[in-house]
Structure 1
Amino acid sequence: MTTSPKAPPPGLTVGGYALRARLGEGGMGVVHLGQKPGERPVAIKVLRPHVVGDDEARRRLAREVSSLSRVRSRRIAEIVDADPFGDIPFVATRYVPGLSLHDHVQEEGPLADDDLLWFADCLAEALEAVHDVGVLHRDIKPSNVMMEGRTPILIDFGLARVADDSRITMNGWLLGTPGYLAPEILYGDDATAASDVHAWAATVAYAGTGRAPYGRGPSMAIMDRVRRGEHDLTGLDPDVLELVEDALAPSPEDRPSLDEVRDWLEDLRSPSDVHDEGAPARDHHAAAPVTLPYAALAQEAYAAPTHVGTAAAPPAPVDEPVHWSDDWTAPTDPYDHRPDGPTEYVTDYGPPARERVPTGQRLRRSLTLLALGGVVTGGIVLAPYVSLAVLFVATWLLRSGSLAAASAGNRRDRRGARWYDGLQVLLAAPWHVVAGLGGSVVLLLWSAGIACAVALLCFAASLSMTTSLAAVGGAFAVSAWWGPGAERVRSPVHRLVDPLARRGVPWLLVTLLVAAAGSGLGAAASAQGTSWTPYDGAPFSDVRLPGWL
């Protein structure tokens, strides 16, 4: 595959996107950096004439794009637009700035320790999201993984096909990259999910050692080593060595399934990172490929021959299989264009790929949050007004911090990490403090309204002051946790609580201390009464319902 980072002719547009620069090209098409006025840049793969040469081919492309539009993951450069039936058919995906894994390793060296585990888990998470919609990637390799900081983003699904399509061959040519193709594909069998697991392992091995696991040289020699399972993992981190070795097994039946890979990685991950998984085992599941065309620069010199010509001259048959169908539906779902123009495709789409959290860990999280709720309740029983003031300030700061973190994350997603990111967050802090005020007031007023309703019920039931304030404090804590805009409060709290819940002894000590603090506040209120500072007495203390005297 050949790459040439030169700009297209000025004024050239495709599907309303102005083409800014050429990012790369391969047998299936040329990838450009494109942009509509007022919108974010995207990576546009303009498909070659021989790929979509007739109506049947375009219907197949339509089906594939429809299938791929269901893929939802932060770890994938998802499809944001497509036109299989236009004069110039194209597919547009989210633009991922930064280096490919191939270039990242060449410039900064292999990944190690937590960085390697994070990479392996994120790449497996991306692959899982693809398999969940019934497609396979079929071309996982270092040049098809972009690095956003330390996080991999999977791109270029040019060799994919829909799961229920029949096997497609391209005039006997090999589809894929020697050294990252599974042995069964080299023997002429259909790809399965186990084939993608093999490619995942080979890519992780490259990330951790800085070299292709099956070496370099003529394609036939590399493929022969792949068939025999003769890989070189010297220098790979011992934490992932066994897992990668198992995933590179020549027989698909001997490889762990993707679920088992993620479970295995969960046990290896350190509590400082975001994801976890479970425990090792063996099995495999099947699916079929996909086409998230993208700005992938293929650096493997030993790849199967791909000839690049002009847009009018179709290259040789080494190409990416395209699988499509008659039932084209535009990729709407989470990628709708907002009324004001820009399309959000980084932080606003749906929930992230499912997080596997063991039952015990979920229980520990809940107990810690209940203990925090006890502190809120105890504080309101002891000193209602002071506690409300403290809770308002804490909510304001948490919301402001969450807004600042989200803004910094959006900037990083758009243009990658920069050395001045911390300074930019500091300079923008006053604005985020102001921006967080309105939502904090709304959330606290909502919670106070719910608490007042509970207080009236307690008053009607003639409950004691301590019992009533405990009920009011509990209602206030629940309302503030689940009220409008409370996700900005929950997010930073979870960032503290969730890692703690993964560590048994520290979690127990901290939770006991928090629970003791809540109990201490309640005990102090019982012993010395409620303090209504800055006022002298309780509100409405002289009010009595008629007939209750």
Structure 2
Amino acid sequence: MTATSSGPADVQVGPYRLLTKIGEGGMGVVHLAQGPDGHRVALKVLRTHIIGDDEARERLSREVSSMRRVSSPRIAEIIDADPWGETPYVATRYVPGLSLHQHVQQEGPIRGADLRWFAAGLAEAVIAVHSVGVLHRDIKPSNVLLEGRSPVLIDFGLARLAEDPRLTHTGWLLGTPGYLAPEILYGEDATTASDVHAWAATLVFAATGRGPFGTGPAMAIMDRVRRGEHDLTGVPEELLPLVRAALAAEPDERPSTGALLAAVRGPAGPAAAAEVPVEHPTLPYVLAQPDPDPTARVTGSGAPVSGAGSWTPATPPPAAVAGTTTPLTVPGPGRPAAGPGTTTPLTVAGPHPAPGGVPPMVPAREPYMMPPPPSRGADQRPRLVPPTPGRPTATARAQRLLLLGGGLAVVAFGFAAAPYLTFLVLTALALAVRTVSWTTEAARERQHLRGRRRWYDAPLTLASSPWYLLVATGGTLMLVTWAGVVTSLTGLALALVGLPLSWALIGLGGVLGFTLWWGPGAKRLRLPTYRVVAAVTRDPWVGWTVVAAVGLVLGVLVYAVVDGGVSWAPEPGAPWRSGTLLGRLLGRL
């Protein structure tokens, strides 16, 4: 089909009207689109270098005919495709949830029962793909969407299109380092065991917020994958043996997808889970035999159903209603894909159709977007970038405002109660924070280049702290000198105005806090403070407790200023007392 446009709001690709762009990857651009019946789909418009000749289009046609045979709530099923059109596309079910990559960035790792549910759902998705003889080949956090707490796998089977050797000339990396199995990195054919390896790596990311093979240059990550050097710190104890086995360097040592599902469901799962067959045939990318009816689809009951039209969206079988389960048929080893007595049912949660059969209109998200490339320094090496936190809640924003404002008030009233002591404490605190900032940044850089933690990281960080103390001292002296000069000049101006001493000292304390916060080199003071404030406000109860503590300290300081006056310790008196340089200068004025 030809992509036509009659205006920015009316762009057509085949029978689909494009609504908005929701993602972009190596194979194409993904749009939220609307079909002729009003249903929304995720429409991937393929790039010309991916499918640029008849051979590639024929390969896509075979892929689609195989992949359209499976229908599962755990995958974004292919609804329609046009490999031969002027603008080739693939339309899949639209899932309006975040990707696992985005969810972990915004909400943190998945824990407890939700993690086991995720692991089982992702295993069901892999089994559903394998049931039609297709391998996924690119299971990773950005290819797993979360529909509620249930995973939905996207882009299944399309990686097969990338086997054209001409694509390697474009520099397109087929797969993501850290989620590719070792045998693929050695140039061998992918098998079902390769998807098992990727399943385990994705599960580790879901449980810990990081990949099992660390970070750093791609070649270093792939080298750790080949050697099987993974870091499973943070993975729950009950899942560790299964994850270790699934990440085995040798494909033959990995468990089958059925064994994965039975293990994560555990003894409390359905009885059918314990009867899951062992591995499917581990052969290099076995495509299912073409059906007489190319529009046939494997439904939850295992029976092929002919489609009425290429664009008609897949509908759930009658059994797949709220509160029921749908049996997903999975061929066993050496058995045909259809026929009585040749499949073992797996129960998976059925979808929840919207009233009237039309999905509700919700704002488009960006679950199909590939993760951003790593930040790079002047030497072009990837830099470690902390995960971007999600938008804080209204309560968290209020707590952060109170903490930052309360901190400034504590500095102001502390300066009014004891100017010299407050200045010395702030200087020591600034030096300590800047030293920790330099030390931890160097430690993160070392871990980033290695891609994992080592036992000697903590001792090395401690041993290097004196050097970074020296590094931080220069910047701290510059910052404190700047703040002291600005505060002193402001104090002279207030002395000329004749403002009462207490109010003048409170104002000077505010100026001191502000200049320390925004002065030269203060970024190393602000960023660690922001991180601490953000950390304590993630939990509302912890946030309010810290706010109350800051309020208590502020109350004590206010009482000291009102009731006790000013303490000039360790000096015997004010800097403008008789006999001092400032006193003589003010006496002349």
Query: Relative to structure 1, is the Cα distance of residues 114 and 354 closer, same or farther in structure 2, using a 3 angstrom cutoff?
Result: farther
Establish whether residue 55 from structure 1 lines up as the match of residue 19 from structure 2.
Answer: no
Q: Aligned letter for 2:50?
A: V
Q: C-alpha distance in 1, partners of 2:65/2:277?
A: 34
Aligned position for 2:259:
260
Instruction: Check whether the contact 1:255–1:284 (CA below 8 A) recurs between aligned residues.
Output: no
What TM-score comes out, normalization by structure 1 length? 0.53
Counterpart mapping for 1:267-286 below 5 A: 267=266, 270=268, 277-278=273-274, 285-286=281-282
Deviation at 1:132, TM superposition (A): 1.0
Seq. identity, %: 53
Counterpart mapping for 1:181-330 below 5 A: 181-267=180-266, 270=268, 277-278=273-274, 285-287=281-283, 330=294
Q: Aligned letter for 1:331?
A: T
Q: C-alpha distance in 2, partners of 1:355/1:328?
A: 20
- Which of 171, 175, 184 pairs up with 2:168? 171
Q: C-alpha distance in 1, partners of 2:55/2:114?
A: 45
Aligned position for 1:129:
128
Aligned position for 1:44:
43
Instruction: Check whether the contact 1:255–1:283 (CA below 8 A) recurs between aligned residues.
Output: no
| Corresponding residue SS for 2:90 | strand
Residue by residue, what CA displacement relative to the aligned partner does 1:417-461 show, whole Å, maximum 9, x if unpaired? xxxxxxxxxxxxxxxxxxxxxxxxxxxxxxxxxxxxxxxxxxxxx
Q: C-alpha distance in 2, partners of 1:348/1:260?
A: 29
Instruction: Check whether the contact 2:354–2:360 (CA below 8 A) recurs between aligned residues.
Output: no
Q: Aligned letter for 1:107?
A: Q
Aligned position for 1:331:
295
Q: C-alpha distance in 2, partners of 1:23/1:258?
A: 31
Higher relative contact order (CA 8 A, sep 6+): 1
Aligned position for 1:475:
none
Residue by residue, what CA displacement relative to the aligned partner does 1:338-361 show, whole Å, maximum 9, x if unpaired? 79x9735356597442599xxxxx
Q: Aligned letter for 2:313?
A: T
Q: C-alpha distance in 1, partners of 2:357/2:206?
A: 26
Aligned length: 325
Aligned position for 1:366:
none
Aligned position for 1:111:
110
Instruction: Check whether the contact 2:104–2:110 (CA below 8 A) recurs between aligned residues.
Output: yes
Residue by residue, what CA displacement relative to the aligned partner does 1:306-341 show, whole Å, maximum 9, x if unpaired? xxxxxxxxxxxxxxxxx99999965353687779x9
Aligned position for 2:313:
343
Q: C-alpha distance in 1, partners of 2:94/2:109?
A: 24
Aligned position for 1:155:
154
Aligned position for 1:87:
86
| Corresponding residue SS for 1:42 | strand
Residue by residue, what CA displacement relative to the aligned partner does 1:480-518 show, whole Å, maximum 9, x if unpaired? xxxxxxxxxxxxxxxxxxxxxxxxxxxxxxxxxxxxxxx
Between 1:16-25 and 1:345-354, the stretch displaced more is: 345-354
| Corresponding residue SS for 2:29 | strand
| Corresponding residue SS for 2:159 | coil
Query: Relative to structure 1, is the Cα distance of residues 193 and 158 closer, same or farther in structure 2, using a 3 angstrom cutoff?
Result: closer
Aligned position for 1:308:
none
Deviation at 1:140, TM superposition (A): 0.1
Q: Aligned letter for 1:171?
A: T
Instruction: Check whether the contact 1:130–1:137 (CA below 8 A) recurs between aligned residues.
Output: yes
Deviation at 1:410, TM superposition (A): 7.1
Deviation at 1:161, TM superposition (A): 2.9
Bigger Rg, structure 1 or 2:
2
Q: C-alpha distance in 2, partners of 1:152/1:171?
A: 31
Deviation at 1:194, TM superposition (A): 0.5
Query: Relative to structure 1, is the Cα distance of residues 279 and 353 closer, same or farther in structure 2, using a 3 angstrom cutoff?
Result: closer
Counterpart mapping for 1:1-40 below 5 A: 9-40=8-39
Q: Which runs of 5+ in 1 are unaligned?
A: 1-7, 291-322, 357-403, 417-549
Establish whether residue 353 from structure 1 lines up as the match of residue 349 from structure 2.
Answer: no
Instruction: Check whether the contact 1:39–1:343 (CA below 8 A) recurs between aligned residues.
Output: no
Counterpart mapping for 1:469-480 below 5 A: none
| Corresponding residue SS for 2:96 | coil
| Corresponding residue SS for 2:155 | coil
| Corresponding residue SS for 2:98 | coil
Residue by residue, what CA displacement relative to the aligned partner does 1:20-48 show, whole Å, maximum 9, x if unpaired? 11111122111111102442110011111
Query: Relative to structure 1, is the Cα distance of residues 406 and 338 closer, same or farther in structure 2, using a 3 angstrom cutoff?
Result: same
Q: Aligned letter for 2:315?
A: Y
Q: Aligned letter for 1:266?
A: R
Deviation at 1:63, TM superposition (A): 0.8
Deviation at 1:170, TM superposition (A): 3.8
Instruction: Check whether the contact 1:51–1:57 (CA below 8 A) recurs between aligned residues.
Output: yes
Q: C-alpha distance in 1, partners of 2:213/2:96?
A: 29
Deviation at 1:278, TM superposition (A): 2.3
| Corresponding residue SS for 1:171 | helix
Query: Relative to structure 1, is the Cα distance of residues 284 and 330 closer, same or farther in structure 2, using a 3 angstrom cutoff?
Result: closer
Aligned position for 1:527:
none
Root mean square deviation, CA, Å: 3.9
What TM-score comes out, normalization by structure 2 length? 0.49
Instruction: Check whether the contact 1:179–1:215 (CA below 8 A) recurs between aligned residues.
Output: yes
Query: Relative to structure 1, is the Cα distance of residues 405 and 232 closer, same or farther in structure 2, using a 3 angstrom cutoff?
Result: closer
Instruction: Check whether the contact 1:148–1:413 (CA below 8 A) recurs between aligned residues.
Output: no
Q: C-alpha distance in 1, partners of 2:89/2:129?
A: 21
Deviation at 1:95, TM superposition (A): 0.3
Query: Relative to structure 1, is the Cα distance of residues 168 and 130 closer, same or farther in structure 2, using a 3 angstrom cutoff?
Result: farther
Q: Aligned letter for 2:328?
A: A
Between 1:151-160 and 1:227-236, the stretch displaced more is: 151-160
Query: Relative to structure 1, is the Cα distance of residues 332 and 99 closer, same or farther in structure 2, using a 3 angstrom cutoff?
Result: same
Instruction: Check whether the contact 2:80–2:313 (CA below 8 A) recurs between aligned residues.
Output: no
Residue by residue, what CA displacement relative to the aligned partner does 1:271-310 show, whole Å, maximum 9, x if unpaired? 5xx79622899867425669xxxxxxxxxxxxxxxxxxxx
Query: Relative to structure 1, is the Cα distance of residues 281 and 211 closer, same or farther in structure 2, using a 3 angstrom cutoff?
Result: farther
Q: C-alpha distance in 2, partners of 1:12/1:167?
A: 31
Query: Relative to structure 1, is the Cα distance of residues 187 and 355 closer, same or farther in structure 2, using a 3 angstrom cutoff?
Result: closer
